Amino acid sequence: MISRRKMIGVLGMGTAAFMLSGKSTFAATTPTDNLKLKLTTPIDVDDVNVNFERIDEEFGSRAVSPDYFKVGTGPDDTDCVQAAFDSGRPVIFTRNYNVKSVKMTGSDQNIDFNGYWLFGISESTDSEAMRDCVLAISGLYLNIYNIRVGAGFKPYKCGIHWVSRSVSQPAEHIKIYGLQVNRCLVGIQYGAYLDDPNPLDAPQSENYIFGIHFRAVQNCLILNQPNGVLKIIGGLFDCSPSEWDSVPSSPYSAVNAYCFYAKESALSIDACEILKVASTEGYGFKGNNFILNNCSIEVASTWGYIDGNATITQNDAGYQGGITNNLFEIAPGAEGRLNLNILYARRAPGIVSSSHIINGLAAAPKFRVNIDKAYFGQWTANKVTSARRENVYLQNTRFTNVVSGVTYESNISDQDRSINIAGSVDTTGENMSAASDTARKSDWNMYVYSGTGTVYFRQNTSDLPAGFRSCIELKVSSGISYIYSSRFPVFGGASLVFSGWAKYTAGTSEQKVSVVWVDAANNVAGEDMIVLAELSTSEWRRIVKPVTAPATAVRAYFQIVANNGSILVTGLGLTVEGDSVEHASLINQMNAALDVAGEGLILRSPNNTRYKITVSDAGVVTATPYP
């Protein structure tokens, strides 16, 4: 909208002098409510001025352009843009504007960039305030349209600083319809800067961005606002260097680049692309208290550095380019839960890597991970986590791995309803005697190989993981010995999950827990182990390993080995991996469990005496006290 001042400039100095002289040889039109001039000869100068003011008022009440406030013809538009924001009127951009730094502090105001840019022009010689950001958003109930901010690689701390002025003046209830930030190290700083020791605790919430885009930005979004909430729907987070590569002595750092860092504030991102494709260094995103929903994640480095609660759901096109990178890193000492629901993550076929999906749980014992209905391409199930498998719960999760053109597939479910094929084995020591000796207990036998000093196995009820009533304790103070369970039937070639809880108090690397496979000729066909390096002396750990029964195996048994120390084990299981014909009826499960020589049911009489019901070779059923 053009003010009287601008119109005089447009008409030229001669016309301006003429109008101000009050002389005219033609008649003016009759004044009306439609802002026409009076019918006078010469023109009434006061009438002209008043009508220009009326025009300003009329159109200014609808929307105002920053040019309404422009003084002079210089390239710096900071003052006129700031004046437009401060006017309280609706603002509409009519061209690109060059500013040092401007701030939106209004309330109930509509601002439309109208397809134009706000370009930052501050230099290192400008004040710290002018180098804070190109645009600060600190208003209330703002509707902002089509924001475009270009920092031009200038020395700004961020492109946009979304910050509350005080606890009683939070920057909240703001809706942004379209936002683009280019060519700065930090795109949006939501709240305090990361080096602020005391961020303002303001209710900076009920804020939304509908459509977002970053280019040539090292850190797209940083949130450090206690009690803050931000929701983003649709767009692109890209922390690739792009044009930063052409900047002399560029400060851009690939290892420090990320799409977002949710340090404080609750963050929700829906239907966006999360990209970091130019480097395998650093992380794609960081933080806690965030939700990614229906996003596409393509990150060459480790995807996420997680230090608290986080959820990723319905990731439809996940790809990781870095073959040596773990998919997620858990921060040391972190507490909370990472939920990965319907997650899709793949790597290039043929990759053989020692990396893991989850890393860092060894230093974060209170952190948990839930993975449900996920797909991991070019990962194997034994690479779920580098430590503390018991802290990771998998449900209906599929792994595929291509090696030399052959695809290997497995499906893992840590489900309580899974059938334990070792149904005939006392896997918790519950039916064992507590006597500290080498005698047979609950169909477990001991072989004293070279053990001397204190040597025994027994039921232990004093040192247990949560949820168990007993465990099996094996002690060999010097030398090596082992115990082994009764045998149970298996299907050769079946994909199974070998699991159990264990810890040790002392011992050497020979200590282990294993499932031993036996063929029809009663020869050992193979062995799968849980080894000492996977266990701890200070806590119980649940170890879960996908295993495949050798094709020739018809039976199996559990074996526990102690060497110069003691080991405690409970909850041993050999369960079906995913759906299988082995998910049989209860009677079939019982029949399979009892289809072992010498096995029988254990029953308790009214006087609490326990009996084991067995059958002899002559078919005679006998009840004998047990154990």
> Rounded mean pLDDT of 179-184?
98
pLDDT of residue 205: 96
pLDDT of residue 609: 87
Instruction: Give the CA angle between residues 249, 251, 256 to the nearest 5°.
Output: 145
pLDDT > 70 fraction of the chain, expressed in percent and rounded: 86
pLDDT of residue 587: 56
Provide the CB-side half-sphere exposure for 574 (13 A, CA). 32
pLDDT exceeds 60 at position 582 = no
Residue with tokens 């020739």: 552
pLDDT of residue 354: 87
Q: Which of 219, 291, 297, 301 is nearest to 252 (CA)?
A: 219
- Please state the pTM of the whole predicted model: 0.71
- Give the pLDDT confidence of 505-556 residue by residue, as tens digits: 888 888 999 999 999 999 999 999 988 888 888 889 888 888 899 999 999 9
Q: Which two structure tokens, joined as six digits, stand for 104?
A: 């939106």
Q: Which two structure tokens, joined as six digits, stand for 159?
A: 């492109």
pLDDT exceeds 70 at position 34 = no
Specify the amino acid at residue 372: D
* 525-533 contacts at long range (C-beta below 8 A, 24 or more positions apart): 525/550, 525/552, 525/553, 526/550, 526/553, 527/559, 528/498, 530/498, 530/500, 530/502, 532/504, 532/507, 532/508, 533/509
Bridge partners, residue 312, by sequence:
292, 340
Q: Which two structure tokens, joined as six digits, stand for 205?
A: 């919430």
Spatial distance between the Cα atoms of 251 and 241, rounded to a whole number of angstroms = 10
pLDDT exceeds 90 at position 64 = yes
> Rounded mean pLDDT of 300-316?
94
Q: pLDDT band at residue 433, thresholds of 50, 70 and 90?
A: very high
Q: pLDDT band at residue 9, thresholds of 50, 70 and 90?
A: very low
- Residues 6 or more apart whose Cβ sits within 8 Å of residue 457: 438, 441, 444, 446, 472, 473, 474, 475, 483, 560
Are 389 and 540 in contact, with CB atoms under 8 Å apart? Answer: no
pLDDT exceeds 60 at position 416 = no
pLDDT of residue 169: 96
pLDDT of residue 10: 39
pLDDT of residue 6: 46
pLDDT of residue 55: 64
| 128 φ, ψ (degrees, to nearest 5) | -60, -35
For the packed helices 13-21 and 45-60, what is the interaxial angle rounded to 10 degrees? 120
Positive/negative CA dihedral, 595, 596, 599, 603: negative
pLDDT of residue 586: 52
Domain layout of the chain by residue ranges: 4-60, 154-412, 445-585, 597-627
- Give the pLDDT confidence of 447-456 residue by residue, as tens digits: 998 877 899 9
Give DSSP secondary structure letters for 350-398.
T------SEE-GGG-TTEEEEEES-EEET--GGGSBSS-GGGEEEESEE
Are 573 and 543 in contact, with CB atoms under 8 Å apart? Answer: no
pLDDT > 90 fraction of the chain, expressed in percent and rounded: 65
Q: pLDDT band at residue 16, thresholds of 50, 70 and 90?
A: very low
Spatial distance between the Cα atoms of 399 and 389, rounded to a whole number of angstroms = 16
- Residues 6 or more apart whose Cβ sits within 8 Å of residue 565: 475, 476, 477, 504, 505, 506, 507, 508, 511
Spatial distance between the Cα atoms of 327 and 121, rounded to a whole number of angstroms = 40
> Rounded mean pLDDT of 42-51?
68
pLDDT exceeds 60 at position 154 = yes
Comparing 58-62, 171-175, 262-266, 323-327, the range with the smallest average pLDDT is 58-62
Give DSSP secondary structure letters for 112-162.
E-TT--EEE---TTS-TGGGTEEEEE--BS-EEEEEEEE-TT-S-SEEEEE
Specify the amino acid at residue 574: L
Give DSSP secondary structure letters for 309-352.
-EEEEEE-S-EE--TTS-SEEEPTT--EEEEEEEEEEE--TT--
Are 130 and 164 in contact, with CB atoms under 8 Å apart? Answer: no
Q: Which of 286, 225, 213, 212 is nearest to 256 (CA)?
A: 286
Helix (H) or strand (E) holding 259: strand 258-262
Which ranges constitute the DSSP H helices of 493-604? Answer: 586-594
- Give the pLDDT confidence of 371-389 residue by residue, as tens digits: 999 999 999 888 999 998 8
- Give the pLDDT confidence of 204-226 residue by residue, as tens digits: 999 999 999 999 999 999 999 99
pLDDT exceeds 70 at position 11 = no
Local structure of residue 445 (DSSP, 8 states):
E
- Give the pLDDT confidence of 80-123 residue by residue, as tens digits: 999 999 999 999 999 999 999 999 999 999 999 999 999 999 99
Q: pLDDT band at residue 491, thresholds of 50, 70 and 90?
A: confident
Q: pLDDT band at residue 4, thresholds of 50, 70 and 90?
A: very low
Give the other-Cβ count within 10 Å of 58's Cβ: 11
pLDDT of residue 518: 96
Instruction: Give the CA angle between residues 82, 85, 86 to the nearest 5°.
Output: 85
Cβ neighbourhood burial of 418 (10 Å; 0-12, 13-18, 19+): buried
pLDDT, averaged across the chain:
88
Class of domain 445-585: mainly beta
Spatial distance between the Cα atoms of 30 and 513, rounded to a whole number of angstroms = 104
- CA 511 to centroid of chain Cα atoms: 37
Q: pLDDT band at residue 616, thresholds of 50, 70 and 90?
A: confident
pLDDT of residue 460: 96
Q: Which of 544, 364, 571, 391 is nearest to 464 (CA)?
A: 571
pLDDT of residue 419: 73
Are 600 and 498 in contact, with CB atoms under 8 Å apart? Answer: no
Structure-model confidence comparison of residues 77 and 450, the more confident one: 77
Are 427 and 433 in contact, with CB atoms under 8 Å apart? Answer: no
> Rounded mean pLDDT of 38-51?
67
Residue with tokens 């049989």: 584
